Chains A and B, each alone.
Chain A
Amino acid sequence: MNFLEIKNLKTFFHTRSGTVRAVDDISLTIRKGEIVGIVGESGSGKSVTCHTMLGLLPQPPARIEGGSIHFHGDDLVNLPHSALRAIRGKRISMVFQDPMSCLNPFMTILEQVAEPLIIHDNLSLEEAEKQAIEMMEKVGIRDAEKRARSYPHEFSGGMRQRVMIAMALVTKPDLLLADEPTTALDVTVQARILKILRSLREELDVSVLFITHDLGVVAEIADRIVVMYRGKVVEQGEVKEIFSNPKHPYVKGLLACRPTLDCKYGTLPTVDDFLETIEHENGAIEIREKKNIENTLQKLVETKKNSEKEQSDPLVEVQNLTVRFRSSKGFIGEKTEDVLAVDGIDLTIQKGKTLGLVGESGCGKTSTGRAILHLIRPTSGEILYEGKSLGKLPAENLIEYRKKMQIIFQDPYASLNPRLTIEQTLTEPMQVHNIDNNNSSRRERVVSILEEVGLSSDHLLRYPHEFSGGQRQRICVARALAVEPEFIVCDECVSAMDVSIQAQVLNLLQELQRKRQLTYLFISHDLSVVKFISDDVAVMQAGKIIEFGKASDVYTHPKENYTRDLIDAIPSPYNLVKD
């Protein structure tokens, strides 16, 4: 039974510089009790679809240009506001991505969870609170009765997302719209939330429209998948069918370009390997499948065979590193809190290899990276670079090592000074370190580095805001390369990216490593990505390294339970396609 049917929906954004066709003629249906996953990269229109259904888009600039959304006989597109409000939160509820900003910081958890009941069911406060607490227990909030009167900031991220889910389900809706509900969470927490959603679907007989960029997540939870690309639905069908036999070139590319635990490629394929887009003169875009894909893929697989590296000398050694943060509030320091971020760890990073450092948020991996570069001062312990201790060096000698060690950050938007052109950004490190002594040779060097990272000399005089996220990350890589370093810390440097761009950047990092014999410390929360790029892996938990070894060994035979939990929590279509 189709109880929700979207037909030819078009939502456009009209801005001063033109029209953005955010959702462009899509159709899909949801059946009773079904979980449908919408997958797509950022800008594919998946969130806009969801917001359009509930009339939550700001209009203008958004405008629904056509189509219908039929729900129990009503057309949500043409429904008057008051009627739509009666449906929102009662029969269709929504869970958003960021549970911190989506909960009202001025209201208690209980007030917020009970609110839909008060709005829609006219329940007394007492009754509403009783039902709210019941629902909170159902989503796995222990001691709900006691904790219900706390404020959102007193809850952890995972708990807040449970609160959001309880709030959405408290009115027993027919349909739950979940917009990237687990994206901001750690894998193990994500696994638990997905489990709760699945069991509640059975219990409450609710249909779910689950929006995500993560193919693994959707494979775990959905019955059916809808893949969106540039505002259009490019493919939809049963989960198994799509994973084992994708038809559209974009879907094929999307599936291939994500590194998985059993990844067979040495270099990741990219979406561009699969399709070419042709823009017609009337503005229409045609997507065509490329020829000879099999050949290209075969070549990529072959790059893996000779990638096994020899044992080499250590370049960076971390000995008993401890980082403690002291946060004091107020000048007289009424309260001091000590946070032990890194708790006496040892690491060895071998020359020309990549060490992957994985762990969940707050485990101390970022502090480790920064302490190695002496961006934060280690509380105790030693960092040895080629056997020399950095801690004992006077400041002026540390500068020599700044040339040898570089870092690339997660957010390419914040990593570039918005007031400097690309040329200024890239020549500045050369001026500081006296690399080349005149501007024309520096410019030549900048151009060659830009070409190495896949940009061109046309970009020299542009400013950062004129580039896309992926391009900006390439500029950050170029800036790191400007001082000819030997060792680069990659701090979650592909975590904020769409998979297709992530694949390009990962390939770039690998290519640079081969060409320049670079050594990487690759910090990430994403175990699949770490597996793909690393030779050795260290697993970090609560400031300690709990497991360390060759990547292939750690993933196939984890020694610690925690490592096994992490690996098991990775959502993946792996099991699904196998059986």
Chain B
Amino acid sequence: MSIENTKVQNLISSSTKSSSLWRDAWIRLRANRLAALSLFFFVLVSILTIIGPEIISTSYDEQDLNNTFAAPGSTHLFGTDNLGRDLFARVLHGGRISLAVGFLATAVSLIIGVAYGMTSGYLGGKMDALMMRIVDILYSLPFTIFVILLMVLFGRNFVLLFIAIGAVEWLTMARITRGQTLSLKQAEFIESARALGYSHKRILFRHILPNLIGPVIVYATLTVPAVMLLEAVLSFLGLGVQAPMSSWGSLIKEGSEKMDIAPWLIFFPGLFFSLTLLALNFLGDGLRDALDPKSAKD
């Protein structure tokens, strides 16, 4: 059965006259409606949060004390909070912070994780065992607790925040990269590269790294929402960004305190936050299916 399946698979790939694996993956991703919609939504939210605060007339910290707890309407699209600040502006601004933290921390975890995992997997042997043992030990630490501790003790600091989160999230990235590197290292095309006398640098960067990108992208896409969630947890505990700045997490916290009087204060930030996480997760799933057509059949 499996033999026949690969036959069918081969037939598919040979009949579509496409070039690289990347293009194939892109075509598959676009064919996945949920993933395509998620991508569209995510791009939309990104654009809104990046340029939105610059073009709308109200600023996120502008107080209108005559107009506190205004319900959503034409003047204030999402209503206002206890200080009369426009929630729409605050949600857009908060999104900027949340997404920035998400992406920066993911980038930190990506760089550390891929470098560590690739080194460990490529070296192999005793060194690999030692490096993975360290990761195992770090895994068993209550890291969220450390991040909370760090934020409490050293104060709310934007840079510290994403370094701390990135430092937590790199562990899984390292494990994934290391596993992939190990199996790639055994692949016959790497062995033939060695037989052809290619340098370690060339093998690592031209033959192993490009083949790692697929799973790494997938995992990175799934890390962004995880990081945003952690940031939100910190904000919720009052350890996130400083007022009057806001992130989605801190907006949700404020909203939850006043939800009896003004439910929209938790509704809109919560909606944006959840939908963005949803889109990123669906996108990650879609990317995985697109980059690895074998699993897509499930």
Task: Please determine if A and B sit in direct contact within the complex, based on CB atoms under 8 angstroms apart.
Answer: yes
Q: Give the size category of B's interface with A.
A: 35 or more
Question: For the complex, what is the distance from the CA of A468 to the CA of B198, rounded to whole Å?
Answer: 27
Of the candidates B133, B191, B210, the one whose C-beta lies within 8 Å of that of A331 is B133
- If over half of B's interface residues share one DSSP class (helix, strand or loop), that class is named, otherwise mixed; here it is helix
Q: Are B195 and A432 in contact (CB under 8 A)?
A: no
Chain B residues with Cβ below 8 Å from A414 are 187-189
Chain A residues with Cβ below 8 Å from B19 are 461-463
Identity of the chain B residue whose Cβ is nearest the Cβ of A56 in the assembled complex:
B1
Identity of the chain A residue whose Cβ is nearest the Cβ of B198 in the assembled complex:
A432
Identity of the chain B residue whose Cβ is nearest the Cβ of A432 in the assembled complex:
B198
Query: Does B8 sit at the interface, judged by CB under 8 A?
Result: yes
Q: Are B1 and A57 in contact (CB under 8 A)?
A: yes
1/0 per position for A402-422, CB-CB distance to B under 8 A? 110111011100111111010
Of the candidates B11, B13, B197, B206, the one whose C-beta lies within 8 Å of that of A399 is B197
Q: Are A465 and B4 in contact (CB under 8 A)?
A: no
In the complex, what's the smallest C-beta–C-beta distance from A10 to chain B, in angstroms? 15
Chain A residues with Cβ below 8 Å from B1 are 47, 51, 56-58
In the complex, what's the smallest C-beta–C-beta distance from B138 to chain A, in angstroms? 15
Query: Does A447 sit at the interface, judged by CB under 8 A?
Result: no
1/0 per position for A451-479, CB-CB distance to B under 8 A? 00000000001110110100000001001
The size of the chain A interface, using a CB distance under 8 A, is 53
Chain A residues with Cβ below 8 Å from B11 are 15, 17-18, 20
In the complex, what's the smallest C-beta–C-beta distance from B289 to chain A, in angstroms? 14
Query: Does A196 sit at the interface, judged by CB under 8 A?
Result: no
Of the candidates B191, B207, B211, the one whose C-beta lies within 8 Å of that of A409 is B191
Question: For the complex, what is the distance from the CA of A330 to the CA of B12, rounded to whole Å?
Answer: 43
In the complex, what's the smallest C-beta–C-beta distance from B85 to chain A, in angstroms? 50
Of the candidates A18, A51, A331, A461, the one whose C-beta lies within 8 Å of that of B15 is A18
**Most chain B beta-carbon neighbours within 10 Å: one of A407, A419, A465:** A419
Query: Does B7 sit at the interface, judged by CB under 8 A?
Result: yes
Query: Does A483 sit at the interface, judged by CB under 8 A?
Result: yes
In the complex, what's the smallest C-beta–C-beta distance from B94 to chain A, in angstroms? 39
Evaluate whether A419 and B15 lie within 8 angstroms (CB atoms) in the complex, with A331-B133, A402-B195 already known.
no
Evaluate whether A417 and B207 lie within 8 angstroms (CB atoms) in the complex, with A17-B11, A47-B1, A56-B1 already known.
yes
Query: Does A375 sit at the interface, judged by CB under 8 A?
Result: yes
Query: Does A398 sit at the interface, judged by CB under 8 A?
Result: yes
Q: Are A375 and B3 in contact (CB under 8 A)?
A: no
Question: For the complex, what is the distance from the CA of A15 to the CA of B293, rounded to whole Å?
Answer: 14
Chain A residues with Cβ below 8 Å from B10 are 468
Identity of the chain A residue whose Cβ is nearest the Cβ of B129 in the assembled complex:
A331
Of the candidates B3, B7, B197, the one whose C-beta lies within 8 Å of that of A432 is B197
Query: Does B75 sit at the interface, judged by CB under 8 A?
Result: no
Evaluate whether A22 and B4 lie within 8 angstroms (CB atoms) in the complex, with A402-B195, A411-B188, A479-B192 already known.
yes
Query: Does A358 sit at the interface, judged by CB under 8 A?
Result: no
Q: Are B196 and A416 in contact (CB under 8 A)?
A: no
In the complex, what's the smallest C-beta–C-beta distance from A413 to chain B, in angstroms? 9
Chain A residues with Cβ below 8 Å from B21 are 418-419, 463, 465
In the assembled complex, 19 residue pairs joining A and B whose CB atoms fall closer than 8 Å, in A order, are A16-B12, A18-B15, A22-B4, A47-B1, A47-B4, A375-B195, A405-B195, A416-B189, A419-B210, A421-B20, A428-B198, A432-B196, A432-B199, A432-B202, A461-B19, A462-B19, A463-B20, A465-B13, A465-B21
